[in-house]
Amino acid sequence: MSSEIEVVEEIQPAKQSGGVVAANGNGNGVGINGVVGVVADDDESLRNDVYTAAAYGDLEKLQRLVESEGCSVSEPDGLGYYALQWAALNNRTAAAQYIIEHGGDIHAVDHTGQTALHWSAVRGAIQVAELLLQEGARIDAADIYGYQTTHVAAQYGQTAFLYHIVSKWNADPDVPDNDGRSPLHWAAYKGFADCIRLLLFLDAYRGRQDKEGCTPLHWAAIRGNLEACTVLVQAGKKEDLMVVENTGLTPAQLASDKNHRQVAFFLGNARRLLEKRCDGNSRLGRLSKLGLAPILWCTIFLMLTTYIHAVIMASNLPKLTAGFGLLAWLGVFLASAGLVLFYRCSSKDPGYIRMNVHDPQNMKDDEPLLKIEINNPALLAGNWSQLCATCKIVRPLRAKHCSTCDRCVEQFDHHCPWVSNCVGKKNKWDFFLFLVLEVSAMMITGGVAITRIVTDPFAPSSFIQWLEYAGTHHVGAISFLIVDFFLFFGVAVLTVVQASQISRNITTNEMANIMRYSYLRGPSGRFRNPYDHGCRRNCTDFLINGYNEDLQASEESAHSEGIGMVQMPRDSHLQNGDLHTHTNGNGHAAINVNSNDTNAHHGHVHSSHCSHGNHNKSKSEGVPLGLGLGLGHGHGRSRSVVT
C-alpha cells in the first residue's frame, strides 16, 4: 500500500516571467498550507500583472491593469493558473468579484483540473467560496485526481470551510477520489482530529477501503496520529480494528511496523477491551451492565443485617437505653435511606442527551446528510470538540460522551462503576446525598458498635484479655467494625471531594482535564472556572435545584483557520543568484530569487508503493499525493501565498 508519498525536486528552466511560485519550508513544492512566496524575475513585472494584484487583493491596481492597460483576467499565467484562483487562495473577495464581472471564468481549470473553488479550500477562504458558489461554481467539480472541494479542505484541515460547504451547499463529505479515498481518509492521514469529528458527525463511512484496502484508521495508524486514531476508535466498532489492507495488516500492525509504539499499544489495547465487551442484548451483556452495583448493594445490606443482630440486638450485650437505642436505630434508618438513593442514582437518567439517530436509507437523494443549523454558535465559534461523532449531536460544553454508557451526558462528572451509572446533571444530587447518608450512617453505627463492645460489663479489665474476650464473644461486632472502618475512609474522602467540587461548580471530569479544556483557561492561560458563582450560590443552587447552573462562558473570538497570508517580498536582496531566506511569523521561510537566475524549483510528486520500510519518516516528509492542490504525476509546480 502507499503508506508514504515521497516528494522529490526537479530543477527546470524558468521560461515564464512574472510567475508567482511557492514551496514549503523544506524546499518541496507541496502546496499552499504554510507556503513560501518566491519572487522570480524583476520586481517591476511582479507588481504589474493581474495575478499578483489578485493575490494581494489590490483592487485599484487590478482596475488599472484591466481598464487602462487592457490586461485580461480570463487568461492563465505562465504556470497555467488564473487570476481568480489567486484571489480565491488568499480570500480576496473584492478582487474575485471584480474578476468575475470582467470576464473571469468561475469554471476555468488549471492543468490539474482544479478550479478557483478548489483553491479557496486550501486556506479556508469561506467568503470567496460563498461568492463563487453564488455565481454558479460547481460544488462537485473534481480535478484529474478526483479531488473535490471537500477533499482539499480535509487535506488542509479547514474544518470551518468544510462545515460551511456541507451544511449550506450540500457538498458530499464522503465522496471518494480516483484512488477510493474519501475526505475522511485524508483528514486521518494528516491528523486533523477536528476534521475527523466533523466528517464522522456528517456520517462519513469509517469502513471505506481505498484501492489498497486501507481504511481511515489504517492511514491514521501509518502516520502515527494518536488523536486521530482515538477519535476514530471511539466512534467506531471493534470490527474497524480488525480490518486488513491488501498486504494483510491491521491498523495496529501497521502502526507497529512504522515504529509508532504508542499508537500500536493504544490500538491493540482498544481491540482487547472491545473483544472482552459483551453484547448488550445478550443475557451476559445485560448482567455486565449491572457492574459492581449488586456487590455494593449486598455489602450494605449484609452490614446492616450484621449491625442489627450483632450490635443492637446482641444477647451477650446489655440492653440499650431509650436514648442510645434511638441513636443506634438512627444509623439503620440513614443506611436504609442511603440504599433508596443508591437505587435512584443507579437507575435514574444521569442527563443523557438525545441522540440524533437517523436512517440513511429513508433519506431523499437531495436531502442533506444532517440538517445542521448553519448558525449553531458552538460550530461557528470553532468548538469542534463539542461534536459527538457517535451520538451525532452538538453537545453542550460541559457534556461528555461516556464510553461505558455510549451516550453523551450533560454536566458529566464521572462514570461510577459502584452505582453502574454515570453521575451527571440529573442524578448528582442523589449521588451526593447517598454519600452523605452512608458516611453519616457509618459514623453512627461504628460509634455505637465501639461503645457497646467497650461497655460490656463482663469484659475483663486487662487489655490483652479484653481483646481475646471481644474476639471470641463479639465476632460479629468486631467484623462489622473492621469493614465499617475501611469503607468509611474511602467514602468519606469521596464525599469531601464531591462537596468541594460542588462548592466551586466544577466536575470531576473537568478537574481531570483542566489542561485540555480551553474554556477552563483565562486569557493568561491560567486556570479560570467561568461557572463558579461563589461558594454560597453554588451550594444553594445545587441543594435547591439538584444541579449547578451553567454560566455563559466568556465569548472568545473564533480562531482563524488559515485566512491570513504570507507576505510576498517586494525587494530583492540577492546578488549573483545567491539565495536568502528569512522566517515569517508563522515559521515559514520567504525566498527571493535573483531575476537573472534562470533556474526555478518545481515540486514533482510521485507515489511510491509501501514496502513498510519507510517507517522512520517525519511528517514533513512523505506528503500525500495531491496535497499541493493536485500536485502529481509528472507535473512540476508550486504556488505562493501572500498577504
What's the pTM value of the predicted model, to 2 decimals?
0.71
Do residues 91 and 127 make contact, with C-beta atoms less than 8 angstroms apart? yes
Partners of 23 in beta bridges: 36
Pairwise CA distance, residues 600 & 12, whole Å: 6
10 within 8 A of 29, measured Cβ to Cβ: no
Q: What integer pLDDT is reported at residue 31 of this predicted model?
A: 39
| pLDDT recorded at residue 286 | 61
Q: CA-to-CA distance for 308 and 340, rounded, in angstroms? A: 19
Catalytic residue among 214, 416, 422, 610: 416
- Give the number of other CB atoms < 10 A from CB of residue 533: 16
CA angle centred on 424, ends 370 and 529, rounded to 5° = 90
Contact residues for 149 (Cβ-Cβ < 8 A; gap 6+): 117, 118, 120, 121, 129, 139, 141, 165, 171
Cα 245 to the center of its chain, rounded Å: 26
* Apex 615 CA angle, 612 and 620, nearest 5: 130
Q: Which three cell numbers stand for residue 440?
A: 453519616
Low-confidence ranges of the chain (pLDDT < 50): 1-45, 359-370, 553-643
Length of the chain: 643
Phi first, then psi: what are they for 480, rounded to 5°? Answer: -60, -45
DSSP H/E element including 414: strand 414-416
Between β-strands 36-39 and 589-592, what pairing exists: parallel, antiparallel or unpaired? parallel
Determine the Cα–Cα distance for residues 406 and 2; give it in Å rounded to an integer: 34
Distance CA 506, CA 450 (A): 38
Helix runs in 258-367, H state only:
261-276, 283-289, 293-307, 322-347
* Cβ within 8 Å of residue 281, ≥6 positions away: none
Collapsing DSSP to helix, strand or coil, 326 comes out as helix
Burial class (CB in 10 A: 0-12, 13-18, 19+), 284: exposed
Amino acid at 62: L
pLDDT at 47: 58
Distance (Å, rounded) from C-alpha 140 to C-alpha 232? 26
The pLDDT of residue 551 is: 66
Active-site residue flag, 416: yes
* Strand bridging mode 421-423 / 580-583: unpaired
| pLDDT of res. 158 | 95
Task: Provide CB contacts within 8 A for 630, sequence distance 6+.
Answer: 110, 112, 113, 114, 118, 143, 144, 145, 147
The C-alpha cell of 486 is what?
Answer: 475501611
- Report the C-alpha gap between 413 and 501 in whole angstroms: 10
Please give the pLDDT value at position 455: 80
Per-residue pLDDT at 345: 93
Q: Which residues of 247-263 are buried (b: 16+ CB within 10 A; e: fewer)?
A: bebbbbbbbbbbebeeb
